């Protein structure tokens, strides 16, 4: 029995190591593949793309809801001096603006209130510096930091009928996902 302790311990360490590596690396690999697949489907970089209405024939993602209108924007903020201005136009029913990082984490979601919503997305370090310098967003805008330089932004609108889907498509024309420089900010000092 003593002769088996070493190989059993080595097997346990290898299993724990493989399990940890899978948990640590899988989200990044999954999101890389998702971003590649979105690019292949012509989902724009730094612009919202409005896919077709979800039906059994058009459903490419498991569990997409046929009652929702979706708009997607891929982003890449590798240039730390830049930001992304994201706008979600007003919609009278349910809508949300969700941000996903390169590890598939949903790190921020804003629920629509029927009014237009503007969020400026920054890599974390520049935003922390701006806040430390006493700057704050202008009244019509929120600031959000991203834990990774790449990811996906998703707008969902409740549109269970073809008529509401067409109205959501029209409302989406005022949505924006624009790569830009730093905005004018107000000083808190």
Q: Does the pLDDT of residue 130 top 50, yes or no?
A: yes
Summarised one tens digit per residue, pLDDT across range 13-24 is 777 777 676 766
How many CB atoms are closer than 10 A to CB 115? 10
pLDDT tens per residue across span 78-105: 876 678 899 999 999 999 999 999 888 8
All residues at 6 or more sequence positions from 88 whose CB lies less than 8 Å from its CB, including other chains: 95, 97, 110, 112, 116, 117, 119, 155, 175
Domain limits of the chain?
Answer: 1-183
Query: Whole-angstrom Cα distance, residue 127 to residue 121?
Result: 9
Beta-carbon neighbour count of residue 92 at 10 Å? 12
What integer pLDDT is reported at residue 23 of this predicted model?
A: 67
Mean pLDDT over residues 4-19, rounded?
72
Average pLDDT, the chain: 79
Q: Does residue 117 surpass a pLDDT of 70?
A: yes
Residues with Cβ within 8 Å of 40's Cβ and at least 6 positions away in sequence, in order, are: none
For 38, 41, 80, 112, 154, the CA distances from 120, given in Å and listed in that order, are: 22, 26, 13, 16, 15
| Confidence at residue 62, expressed as pLDDT on a 0 to 100 scale | 53
**CA-to-CA dists, residue 3 to 11, 22, 134, 169, angstroms:** 14, 30, 65, 69
**Which tokens sit at 100?**
């996903």
Mean pLDDT on 143-169: 92
| CATH node for 1-183 | 2.60.40
**Per-residue pLDDT band at 186 (split at 50, 70, 90):** very low
Q: Is 45 exposed, middle or buried (0-12, 13-18, 19+ CB in 10 A)?
A: middle
Mean pLDDT of 38-44: 71
């Amino acid at each position: 029995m003593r002769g088996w302790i070493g190989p059993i311990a080595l097997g346990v360490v290898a299993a724990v190591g493989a399990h940890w590596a899978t948990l640590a690396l899988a989200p990044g690999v999954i999101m890389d593949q998702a971003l590649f697949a979105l690019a292949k489907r012509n989902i724009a970089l730094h612009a919202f793309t409005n896919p077709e209405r979800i039906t059994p024939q058009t459903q490419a993602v498991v569990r997409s809801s046929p009652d929702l209108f979706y708009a997607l924007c891929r982003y890449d903020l590798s240039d730390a001096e830049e930001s992304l201005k994201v706008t979600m136009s007003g919609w009278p029913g349910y809508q949300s603006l969700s941000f996903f990082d390169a590890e598939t984490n949903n790190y921020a979601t804003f629920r629509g209130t029927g009014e237009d919503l503007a969020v400026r997305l920054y890599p974390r370090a520049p935003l922390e510096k701006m806040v430390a310098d006493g700057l704050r967003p202008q009244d019509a805008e929120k600031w959000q930091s991203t834990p990774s330089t790449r990811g996906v932004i998703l707008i969902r609108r409740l549109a269970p009928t073809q008529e509401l889907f067409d109205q959501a498509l029209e409302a989406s024309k005022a949505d924006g996902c624009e790569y830009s420089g730093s905005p004018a900010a107000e000083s808190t000092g």
